[in-house]
Each structure stands twice: as C-alpha cells, then as structure tokens.
Structure 1
C-alpha cells in the first residue's frame, strides 16, 4: 500500500511529538498511569519521560492523581476543548438546527467530524430534564463502533479506509462491537444502501443511536450528526423517522461542509501531496 504522505514530513520537533504521545497513552480504559507505565509504553527512558511529564504538568495538560503516584489528563484539556468548539464556525451555524432537532426528539444530539481515523465530537445538545455532568466535546472515539463514525466511514475512499484499518485495530468494547473487517465491510455496505447507520450498544452498554453523514459536493464525508438515547427510548419504529430528520438537517449543513475540521485537514493534506 502506498505510504501516507501526510505523515512523511520531517519538520517536527521531537520533544513535542514525544509529549503528544504521552497524552495519547491516556484512554478510557487506562485514565491514570504511572511514570513507569508511560515510559514502558512509549519505550522511552524514565528520565526523559519524567521531564516531559513535568512540562505537561506545568502547562496543566497533566496532573498528579491525589494520593497516588499516578498521572491523569489535566483540566486544561477540557478548557481547550470548549475553546475549540467555540472557535469553530460550523458549530455556530449548526447550533440552531441541532437545538431544533433535540427539541423535536427529546434525545441527545451529537455533531461530529473525523480526524486521524477517529470520531471527534464538536457539539452536543442534551435534554434539559437529564442531569448531565460531563461533556464529550473534544472527545475522540473509534469510527467502527460509533453511529457517527460508521456513517462517515461508509463513504470514505477505500484507500483511506485501509489506512484506518492499519492504524486502529478493532478493539472490543461490548459484546456487540464489530471486531472483524469482513463484518465491518458488510455493515458499511448496509449503511450506504440505507443512507444512515445504527449503533446498538456497540461502544456503550445501554445506548442506541442513529446517525447520518454530512458530505461535501464530491460525496466526501466531512461530518455526521446522531440522535442518541437509551434502548428504551430509541424504539425501532422511530428510527426511520429519526433518520429522515437527520438527513434534512445534514443536507441543510452541507453548504458549510468546508468548515468541518475533516474538510480543512483534507485540503491541507492535498496541498502537501501535490
């Protein structure tokens, strides 16, 4: 397979790359890590790892877990995620239609894009009656096990899909997670035939969602919107209607497709590979 030219540049600062790799070590399954674990995972000397960690601590990107010799992601990242959402023009244009969709369905509405083979959450609208004490804005998840991710993945060029397969293994999150490429290929065909994706407890137990991609004038998927709720509230007889509502909203945002991060990154990569 042809080498991805997007990662072929040598114009990077090594220490910054290593620091970013440290941040990537923290996941939902391992939110707290020790110095030893981080250095082993990245195959870096402890002294180098400690210096990088102290730098990240100074910037608020990492904090030491109270009462433990472990580290966790710092609250500065949450601040940055809110700043990201506020600075994106597409979020500004999308909010009115997302709010309208949320009012109509009384479910959670997510606006997403994709970056580096993962779903990136740009905005979320929650029902006022629910006590939500967390935010997904700025969070990334795999594409193969989320409604929005599958909706976008289904319309990506085959070469880009192969690169995602090579980069991100099909990790099992729940008993319903797709874990083989053959099964995923069949699922993507189904999504293309129907125009929308469904996620039934593939990434989170008890959660069901339907999602539709937002595509540019060439058909490239730059984003997706989903309606998400509990298994009880997201009844099967509602899904076709929800998908139609989503399609209408996505079509209304298609003229702004160039404002999605996925579109902007694609434009940058295209210039680099010319």
Structure 2
C-alpha cells in the first residue's frame, strides 16, 4: 500500500484501527499484557478492548493465559510475518549476495529498509558462531544510532529527514549515541563525503558496523546493507574495503530497489522534479 492510498480520506474503519493498535501494544519488552493495561494504553473502555481482544483471540492473533491473566501475541502473527518475508522478491534476490558478503568477511550481514522513520531489518546472514541468539528480521530501531539508519538518513529528502527527527527525537541507546542535531548533521556530512556510514557502539556496546545505502535511480535511499561485528574484529583499516564490497552489492540491487518497503511507501514522485 502506498502513502497515496493511505492518505485517502473517509475510508478508514475505526474498529480495525483499534484492533491493530492492540497488536502494536506488544513488544520485546512487553510480551504479556493485562486487559487493564491494553485499555489504558489505548485510552478506550475495558468493554471495548475486551470485545476487540476476543475477536483477535478467535482468529489466533492473541493468546490468553489464565494463569497470569494476560494476553500475548498469537502464532498467526508469526505466520503473517513468514508470509510477508517470503512474498518479498528482493529478499530472495539479495540473499546470495548477502551470503557471499558473509563468507568474505566472516561478519554479520544485514539487509534493511526504513518504515515510518525507523530502520526495519529484513534479513540477516550470520557466521557459524553468532553474536546474539535470535533472528533480527522484523526488528525496528532508531535511524540515528545504526549504521544502516544513518546511511539512509544521509540521503533522505529534507522533509522526510525533519519528520524523522520530529517524531522520534534522538534517544540515547548507549553513551556513544548521537543525541544532538548538530552532531547528526556533522555525521551526515561525513557520510556523504565518504559514501558510507559507521556505527561504533552507538546502538550496542561492543558492536561496530559499516553500512551503505541502496539508492534508486532518483537517489532516494530505499534500503541499506551493513557488515557488523565486534569492535575487535571490525578494525578501522577494514572499513573502507568493506564499504567498497557493500557498494558493489548495492549497485546490483538498484534495479530491484522498487521492491523495498521504503520505495513502495514513498509519496508519489514527479520525474520532472529530478
């Protein structure tokens, strides 16, 4: 669905919006919620929340635990996620290139896009000995503190850049996170000059990455690819070479950039503007 269709007035169903808002209440830090918490979070009566919850529960999108008297996401949410990922040709097309990057570098490779002002991780290719123990696909993170996010931020149109800053601000995830506009603008200038972004323990302590944006024919950043590893293995002298390798992969993916969510959700563009 494009932003143009989303902006159509008079066609949104309020009950559907409320039901989806319930699903969005859950997160890695809020895996189980009571009825009162959901009602309070959405600002709706408990009776309304309960009717919507029972409907979602009947379709397998929520599960109720009598023991804790809480709700959690149901397995049909996982099925939807699987269906989405397998229906995105760009992931299947990019995967061999991501796997080749992983073999060459021995590090973690990520394919990302941006949605609603955040980085959305689409795929990860990991070494046999992994950093962490979970798949990152589907995870969202702020743009200002990740390599992929900064690589895309550097080439966003001014209006979208301002929207990101206004909506999400610049929260600190580690002591190294950029937290002021002046720092971010300086970083973006550096990214544009060298052609790639670096995240040095800005999102996770001990982790360093280099990222390059996937830009379409107009220069719009539809996605990004990163190489990520420990601060020990990701030595400074490797970053420039890693960025060149990523750039070659990005150039191959340009013809399929329109398949990335950021490109599909982009406002209608008049070619005469370029």
TM-score, reference length from structure 1: 0.88
Q: Tell me the secondary structure at the aligned position of residue 124 of structure 1.
A: strand
Cα distance in structure 2, aligned partners of 1:177 and 1:250 = 26
Q: Tell me the secondary structure at the aligned position of residue 25 of structure 1.
A: coil
Cα distance in structure 1, aligned partners of 2:187 and 2:29 = 26
8 Å Cα contact 1:82/1:138 also seen in 2: no
Cα distance in structure 2, aligned partners of 1:134 and 1:66 = 28
Count of residue correspondences: 266
* 146 and 39 in structure 1: CA distance in 2 versus 1, 3 angstrom threshold: same
Cα distance in structure 2, aligned partners of 1:261 and 1:253 = 14
Deviations 1:171-230 (A, max 9, x none): 322222222223222222221122111112222232221110000111000010011112
Greater mean deviation of Cα atoms: 128-137 or 112-121? 128-137
Deviations 1:216-255 (A, max 9, x none): 1110000100111122222222111111111111111112
Deviations 1:79-121 (A, max 9, x none): 3222222111111211111111010011111111111111122
8 Å Cα contact 1:81/1:137 also seen in 2: no
Residue in structure 2 matched with residue 152 of structure 1 by the alignment = 152
Residue in structure 2 matched with residue 12 of structure 1 by the alignment = 12
What is the deviation of 1:5? 9.6
Q: What is the RMSD computed on CA atoms of the aligned residues?
A: 2.2
Residue in structure 1 matched with residue 196 of structure 2 by the alignment = 196
* 6 and 163 in structure 1: CA distance in 2 versus 1, 3 angstrom threshold: farther
Residue in structure 2 matched with residue 222 of structure 1 by the alignment = 222
* 204 and 80 in structure 1: CA distance in 2 versus 1, 3 angstrom threshold: farther
Residue in structure 2 matched with residue 82 of structure 1 by the alignment = 82
Cα distance in structure 2, aligned partners of 1:155 and 1:177 = 20
Residue in structure 2 matched with residue 270 of structure 1 by the alignment = 268
* 145 and 61 in structure 1: CA distance in 2 versus 1, 3 angstrom threshold: farther
Cα distance in structure 2, aligned partners of 1:254 and 1:53 = 42
* 36 and 251 in structure 1: CA distance in 2 versus 1, 3 angstrom threshold: same
- Structure 1: which 5+ residue stretches go unaligned? none
Cα distance in structure 1, aligned partners of 2:56 and 2:163 = 30
Moved over 6 A (4+): none
Cα distance in structure 2, aligned partners of 1:189 and 1:64 = 50
Cα distance in structure 2, aligned partners of 1:66 and 1:103 = 47
Report 1:228-243 matches (<5 A).
228-243=228-243
Cα distance in structure 1, aligned partners of 2:98 and 2:219 = 22
Cα distance in structure 1, aligned partners of 2:149 and 2:166 = 16
Cα distance in structure 1, aligned partners of 2:177 and 2:141 = 13
Report 1:1-274 matches (<5 A).
7=7, 9-64=9-64, 67-130=67-130, 133-266=133-266, 269-270=267-268
Cα distance in structure 2, aligned partners of 1:178 and 1:24 = 27
What is the deviation of 1:130? 3.1
What is the deviation of 1:128? 2.3
* 206 and 8 in structure 1: CA distance in 2 versus 1, 3 angstrom threshold: farther
Q: Tell me the secondary structure at the aligned position of residue 9 of structure 2.
A: coil
* 131 and 83 in structure 1: CA distance in 2 versus 1, 3 angstrom threshold: farther
